[in-house]
Amino acid sequence: MSSRVKELQLARPVNNNTSRGTLFVVSSPSGGGKGTIIRHVLAVVENLSYSVSYTTRAPRLGEVDGREYFFISRDIFDEMTAAGEFLEWACVHGNFYGTAKRQVAEETAAGLDIIVEVDVQGAASVRQLLMDSVSIFILPPSPEVLRQRLLARGTDSPEELEVRLRNAPEELKQYSAFDYVIINDEIEKAVKQLASIIYAERARCMRQESLVREVIKDFMSGQE
């Protein structure tokens, strides 16, 4: 990379593009594999953050408060909703989940891109609120694979598992409202696809306008 472009980038927010980071909304039915894909993508894509949601669901074995979710009571959830602290929230499979406005606002303002992992209702809300967000639907390759993944996770009671499987077809129908769809038949391929989407979105003209303008200005001044 030329030292001039590097210099211009250093003078800018971390994603080097516009002044704000981009919000990537990732949805799939429970057990669709989005958690694993996102974890891998966060490890390989630079300047990318993850929004930790709030939920009233009980922690599963191995889940850590503040890492997978902030686990809160229904009362606190209602207080946060009333105080307008959520960018979006929804009731999913009988539990409440919400994305905190603050984390998303702070990190995108600092120029970081951020992934929010939400259900299809949450994705629809974010799309309406933030027109320049990018939404990605992760599609499990078959009902059998979805069932196997939920069983292998071993964290849901038989009743919870049935609810999740029963709700999946309705969620899947919403795929066409998303900007991208990734069929998660092979984890490595799915990780590459999600990372590619993020890189491609970063390269959009509209997201690089100010940096490109500076570079072009250099060319113009050389002609004087």
Residues within the interface to ligand 5GP (CB under 6 A): 30, 53, 57, 88, 90, 92-93, 97-99, 117-119, 121-122
At closest approach, how far in Å is the CB of 118 from ligand 5GP? 4
At closest approach, how far in Å is the CB of 210 from ligand 5GP? 31
Comparison of 118 and 139: residue with beta carbon closer to ligand 5GP: 118
Buried b (16+ CB within 10 A) or exposed e, 10-43: eebbbbbbbebbbbbbbbbbbbbbbbebbebbee
At closest approach, how far in Å is the CB of 55 from ligand 5GP? 6
Comparison of 19 and 148: residue with beta carbon closer to ligand 5GP: 148
At closest approach, how far in Å is the CB of 153 from ligand 5GP? 9
Comparison of 8 and 87: residue with beta carbon closer to ligand 5GP: 87
- d(Cα 167, Cα 150) in Å, to the nearest integer? 13
Comparison of 12 and 40: residue with beta carbon closer to ligand 5GP: 40
At closest approach, how far in Å is the CB of 206 from ligand 5GP? 27
Pairing relation of β-strands 53-55 and 95-100?
antiparallel
Comparison of 58 and 220: residue with beta carbon closer to ligand 5GP: 58
Residue nearest ligand 5GP by beta-carbon distance: 122
CA-CA-CA-CA torsion for 75, 81, 86, 90, nearest 10 degrees? 80
Q: Which residues contact 126 (CB under 8 A, 6 or more apart)?
A: 23, 25, 87, 88, 99, 116, 118, 133, 135
Number of H helices, E strands in the chain: 9, 9
